[in-house]
Chains A and B, each alone.
Chain A
Amino acid sequence: MAGVPNLADTPWLDPSSEPFIRLRGVTKKFGDFTAVNNVDLDIYKGELFCLLGGSGCGKSTLLRMLAGFEVPTSGRIMIDGVDMSDVPAYERPTNMMFQSYALFPHMTVEKNIAYGLKQEGVAKSEIADRVDEVLGLVELTDFTKRKPDQLSGGQRQRVALARALVKKPKLLLLDEPLGALDKRLREQTQFELMNIQDQVGITFVVVTHDQDEAMTLSTRIAVMDAGNFQQIGTPTEIYEFPESRFVADFIGNANMLDARVTEAGTDHVTVETALGTIRTEQGIQVQEGQKVYLALRPEKIHLAKAGDPVHEGNMQVTGHVEDIGYMGDMSVYKVLVNGETMIEVTAPNLTRPKQRSLAITWDEEVVLSWHSNSPVLLVR
């Protein structure tokens, strides 16, 4: 997926390509509560699409509607050109990997995986072949005769994945696929999941609340809140060009400042903030005097000791280090600017603590600087 982007890798940019999954005006209500509110969505073949949001944002409900466990209150869902409105879950070309894995506790690994094929009426010899194939794919060949309760969490996760993959669905739905794994295993499995998707070429829709997971895995992310899409885009778009304060805050961290437009140009906008006048190289539709928000990511700010040379042309302010959080690979600095605005800055720990004289410490005067294309202006 890396390398030079072309239209085959980014079908959503190609107006002539046909979406594989098409949601139109999909709403789901539970009594008075609207879980999913009139959403439209196109997902293209071969995508690894993430629905990202906090709990109760409607992402799981959307996934369950794709699987056929919930019926939309209104709206239409099309998969590969077929309207799914009257298609029950057991006839849909989708398979789901459940958050709890939902492995059948009374069946061995082998039987769990073969279950879907048996329901389809696939011949016994073919079942055996396909089960073997998928077991190889998830590297569980030695565990065929075990029951789920004799497996570790990671192994169960693989069985669940194998069981969903073996039917070669048109669409694979994954509900928090890595949620139950510990951190190290999760990071390792993320890449495996991407490799497997590459090998089988099935379209994946993943639900997750974990932004790191979404950023690593997806071709595109839909950030959800209160039943609506806040933004749909590639991980880079979502992170570097958030469209709202919600997205900027939800994905990564951001210093959020109230701002007032003082100059609205076509290729740059200047705003007045608590840090002073800030120029941004961002052409957005704003008028002079309009109230906007300025988001500045902590890692986009360069931190230097007072008096140290600063990059030519960078915007800079001075501040006072109030607090430092040591994270190992990097540190988080809380810097008070103008005695009233707390700015968070992260910097990699390039030196060891022994070289203390080089490092920035508490109560030190520092210079914060950033390039004028780093800040992002948000109107909502």
Chain B
Amino acid sequence: MSSVAADPMDPAPGPTQAGLGARISRQLQASWKLCVIAVPYAWMLIFFLLPFFIVFKISLAEPLIAAPPFSALFDLTEEGIVTIRIILDNFLFIFEDDLYIRTYLNSVKISTISTILCLLVGYPIAYGIVRSGEMARKLLLMAIILPFWTSFLLRVYAWMGLLADKGTINNLLISIGIIDEPIRMLYTDFAVYLGIVYTYLPFMVLPLYANLEKLDSSLNEAAADLGAKPIGIFFTVTLPLSIPGIVAGSLLVFIPATGEYVIPDLLGGGNVQMIGRVLYNEFHQNKDWPVASAVAIALLFLLVVPMMIYQRYQAKEAEKV
């Protein structure tokens, strides 16, 4: 842009002035760029990195009956020497007591199964939306996003009302005479799976939709032209090309579902142990902040692996474009 002003072909007087203006505007531009970049960095620093270090610090402390309920990491003794007390007991403890590993594995199991269920339900939905007309597509996408407009907590409570022994579904089934005794649905694994699949389905559908929508429809025609039947086309062309969407959707479901607290607590009651609930109990019932922090840090590192896989896929996708 600024090179236009400094064009040597320009016979107008005062080229140095134009050059100076260009330099100033370039500098302004550079500092403006810095501002723009600084905002998200500052945000990450203040709201993510700093809390992380606070939690990390607590995880290396000792529980105390005081306020705050943990020992200080740095201490200034009377002689004026700074001592640092790092206690790794909390991390050792979560590996000693099999409660943590058991609930963690249970969380992984539940979120894995939920992810597969989300994929099985979400793929046909995403595929159907892509294949429908322009108007219907907009409406269906809206329907997928619409639940986000009400509180997540409210929707989970609504499920409690639906699934309870004296809830809507049981009442309906009894009143039309299909069953005599209410079916126990609330506070079971079933309710937790239902809740997770219901809540996280949009996170599966939207990336899948974005992926399937980009697929070149002439590839389907080419496959049909070469003799593939519709079902064959799906398995040889559409499915392999939608793997990036499947990976993105699955990780977007799997990662938050593993740490899920509200759904297992409200829909699973005490019967379904997930790591999120253990974490909550550690903080609020046992008041053992250091152990709770250690669990949180361990959980974070266990989830970093799938997140890195996701990042890698994203980067690969970006490269293609």
A: residues with CB less than 8 A from B are: 67-69, 88-91, 94-96, 98, 100, 102-106, 115-116, 119-120, 149, 163-164, 167
Q: Which of B25-33, B43-51, B226-234 contacts A (4 or more CB under 8 A)?
A: B226-234
Interface centre among A88, A90, A91, A96 (most CB of B within 10 A): A90
Question: B225 and A94: CB pair below 8 A?
Answer: yes
Interface residues of B in 210-237 (CB under 8 A from A): 216, 218-219, 221-229, 232, 236-237
Given contacts A102-B218, A116-B227, list 18 more A-B pairs with CB under 8 A: A67-B225, A68-B224, A89-B224, A89-B225, A90-B226, A90-B227, A90-B228, A90-B229, A98-B221, A102-B216, A102-B222, A103-B222, A106-B241, A115-B223, A119-B226, A119-B232, A149-B320, A163-B222
Check A163–B216 contact: CB distance below 8 A: no
Residue numbers in A under 8 Å from B40 (CB-CB): none
Q: Which among B222, B240, B320 is the interface contact of A98 at CB below 8 angstroms?
A: B222
Residues in A with CB closer than 8 Å to B228 are 90, 115, 119
Tell me how far the C-beta of A99 lies from the nearest C-beta in chain B, rounded to whole angstroms.
Answer: 8
Q: A102-B216, A104-B237 are in contact. Are A90 and B224 (CB under 8 A)?
A: yes
Q: How extensive is the interface on chain B, given as a class?
A: 10 to 19
Q: List 22 A-B contacts (CB under 8 A).
A: A69-B224, A88-B224, A90-B224, A90-B227, A90-B228, A90-B229, A94-B225, A95-B226, A96-B225, A100-B216, A102-B218, A102-B219, A102-B222, A115-B226, A115-B236, A116-B227, A119-B226, A119-B227, A120-B227, A163-B222, A167-B226, A167-B227
Complex Cα distance, B230 from A91, in Å, reads 12
- Give chain B residues whose Cβ lies under 8 Å from the Cβ of A88: 224
By a CB distance below 8 angstroms, the chain A residues around B227 are 90-91, 116, 119-120, 167
The 6 closest A-B pairs by CB, nearest first: A116-B226, A119-B227, A102-B222, A102-B218, A89-B224, A90-B224
A98 partner residues in chain B, CB cutoff 8 A = 218, 221-222
A163→B226 contact, CB < 8 A: yes
> Which residues of the other chain, A, contact B221 by a CB distance below 8 angstroms?
67, 69, 89, 96, 98, 102
Q: Which residues of chain A are within 8 angstroms of B236 by Cβ–Cβ distance?
A: 115
Interchain CA distance A91-B224 in the complex, whole Å = 9
Chain A residues with Cβ under 8 A from B218's Cβ?
98, 100, 102
- What is the minimal beta-carbon distance from B222 to any residue of chain A, in angstroms? 4
Enumerate chain B residues within 8 angstroms of A89, measured Cβ to Cβ. 221, 224-225
With known contacts A115-B236, A119-B232, A90–B225 Cβ distance under 8 A? yes
- Max chain A Cβ within 10 angstroms of own Cβ: one of B216, B223, B227, B236: B227
- List B contacts of A116 (CB < 8 A): 226-227
Report how far A86 CA is from B246 CA in the complex, Å. 36
How far apart are the CA atoms of A140 and B69 in the complex, in Å?
A: 73
Chain B: minimal CB distance from A340 (Å): 42
Q: How far is the CA of A91 from the CA of B241 in the complex (A)?
A: 24
Q: Which residues of A contact B224 (CB under 8 A)?
A: 68-69, 88-90
The docked-state distance in angstroms from the alpha carbon of A68 to that of B224 is: 9
B319 CB to nearest A CB, Å: 11
Chain B residues within 8 Å of A102, by CB: 216, 218-219, 221-222
Collect the chain A residues with CB atoms within 8 Å of residue B216's CB. 100, 102
Q: How far is the CB of A79 from chain B (nearest CB, A)?
A: 14
Q: How far does the alpha carbon of A337 sit from the alpha carbon of B263 in the complex, in Å?
A: 89
The residue of chain B having its C-beta at the shortest distance from the C-beta of A160 within the complex is: B222
Contact of A106 among B225, B229, B232, B240 (CB under 8 A): B240
CB distance from B214 to the nearest CB of A (A): 11
CA of A88 to CA of B224, assembled, Å: 9
- For the complex, give the distance between the alpha carbons of A167 and B222 in Å: 13
A248–chain B nearest beta-carbon distance, Å: 35
CB distance from B171 to the nearest CB of A (A): 50
- CA A315 – CA B316 in complex, angstroms? 70
Q: Kindly provide the distance from the CB of A148 to the nearest chain B CB, expressed in whole angstroms.
A: 11
Chain B residues numbered 236-293 whose CB sits less than 8 Å from any CB in chain A:
236-237, 240-241
- Tell me the nearest residue of chain A to B222, going by C-beta: A102
Q: Give the chain B neighbours of A69 by CB distance below 8 A.
A: 221, 224-225
Identity of the chain B residue whose Cβ is nearest the Cβ of A67 in the assembled complex:
B225
Q: Tell me how far the C-beta of A265 lies from the nearest C-beta in chain B, rounded to whole angstroms.
A: 54
- A180: min CB distance to chain B, Å: 13
A376 to B229, CA, bound (A): 52
- Least CB distance from A226 to B in Å reads 25
Min Cβ gap B6→A in Å is: 35
Cβ distance B170 to chain A, nearest Cβ, rounded Å: 48
With a cutoff of 8 Å between Cβ atoms, the chain A residues found around residue B232 in the complex are 119
Alpha-carbon separation in the docked complex, A103 to B219 (Å): 7
Bound: A90/B236 CA distance, A = 14
